[in-house]
Amino acid sequence: MTTPPAPEVPNAAPPPSSPASSGPSPQEKEATSRQIGRLQDFAAGFFATWTLDLGVRHGLFECLSRHPEGLSAEFLARELDLDRLYVTVWCNAAYSAELVEFKEGRFFLAEGLKAPLLEPGSPVYFAGTVRFLGALREAWTFLDQHVADGERSWWDQFSKDLPASQADSSRTFYTRLLRKGFAQVPGLIERLNGPTPLTLVELACGRGDGLVRLAKAFPNLKVHGVEGDERSVEVAKAAVAAAGLGDRVTISHGILGKDPVPAADIVLMNIALHEVQDKEEVVRQVVRALRPKGAFLISEFPFPEWGEIEKLRTPAGKVMAGVQYVEAILDDQLLPSAQFMNFLRRNGMREVSSSELAPIHVLVWGTK
């Protein structure tokens, strides 16, 4: 039996050309080139952060600052008793990141970096942030392991290095509060310097740096710190004792939202309220604890409102967007300033207002 011939099929029209076959458009090529440049900048920034971290932790910047005549990589390594090859690589990386300058075989600390990297009391001090970024390695490891199952953590589950570097990074926030933040609150400086002794309670006082600085700044002020991390409580007590302020500064262990807030004329929370699970309850407790005309001062990151997402592309917004990774691990998030102000208003605080102390720092306050 013979097979019948196959029916004739009319010639089909050729398939339309696809973007893949015709190649990217000039606009797509330009966009890709622009994004490649940005990705390379990100990679360079990653290594610059490593370079900053090594330079801060191992005294490389400090040593160059002590030698304005400049040092070769070999002499820098010898001065600090560090490996010559590692220091040579660091010097080249620091030069590429414009952190040091190079002339006639010697490296010099770049102009304008002494205050950010070497002066903890400066309002532009940045070395604490550098240490914090370096210490985040273990936080990134935790996030990578739990990004699927959603497990959270807390400060006391990490090594001592992470909370210690976090405390160092908050130092600049205290500096801004003391230099100009408190002056924004009507009548506060006058009360702090007045003859009537006041009591200031700092909630989530950390390792005590703020307690010591507040007591030194205002000699008539009694300061009490409350901290939930027992390791930090011991560090804070040691810091107070070393400063010789035990007669005016006290510290206790307490869990915010559970343990009562001690009576106070002023309550301060510095980069801490956003980490509290029941923020409304803490605000209620603070209002109950405040004496008449008492003030609640909330020092925070001014995270943009949801309707202002474009602000996340500013330098400050990019930093805060990155900080949200850490806050997510701790099961919280940074909040817009307006939410903190609403907490105060809903709980009967008067004269609620705020002041931006830096693009990454806002002070919110209210009076009882």
Residue 314 CA, chain-centre distance (Å), reads: 15
Give the whole-angstrom CA distance, residue 300 versus residue 22: 52
Place domain 134-367 in its CATH homologous superfamily: Vaccinia Virus protein VP39 (3.40.50.150)
pLDDT for position 177: 97
Q: Which residues of 194-212 are buried (b: 16+ CB within 10 A; e: fewer)?
A: eeeebbbbbbbbbbbbbbb
**Residue 12: is its pLDDT beyond 70?**
no
Across 112-135, average pLDDT = 94
Describe the crossing of helices 279-289 and 337-346 by its angle, rounded to 10 degrees.
50
Are the C-beta atoms of 282 and 340 separated by less than 8 Å?
A: no
Query: What is the rounded average pLDDT of the residues 216-221?
Result: 96
User: Which CATH entry fits the domain spanning 28-118: 3.40.50.720, 3.40.50.300, 1.10.10.10, 3.40.50.1860?
Assistant: 1.10.10.10
**Which amino acid is residue 332, in one-letter code?**
D
The tokens of 228 are what? 């939930």
Mean pLDDT of 282-294: 96
pLDDT in tens, 304-314: 998 899 999 99
pLDDT of residue 257: 87
Extract the tokens encoding 343.
């907490």
Asked if domains 28-118 and 134-367 share a fold, the reply is no
Q: Could you tell me the pLDDT band of residue 11, with boundaries at 50, 70 and 90?
A: low
d(CA 191, CA 300): 23
pLDDT, tens digit (0-9, with 9 covering 90-100), for 49-74 = 999 999 999 999 999 999 999 999 99
Nearest to 74 by CA among 62, 61, 86, 56: 86
Query: Which whole number is the average pLDDT over 204-233?
Result: 95
List CB contacts of 224: < 8 A, sequence separation 6 or more.
199, 200, 201, 202, 249, 250, 251, 252, 262, 264
State what percent of residues in the chain have pLDDT above 70.
94
The domain spans of the chain are 28-118, 134-367
pTM for the whole thing?
0.87
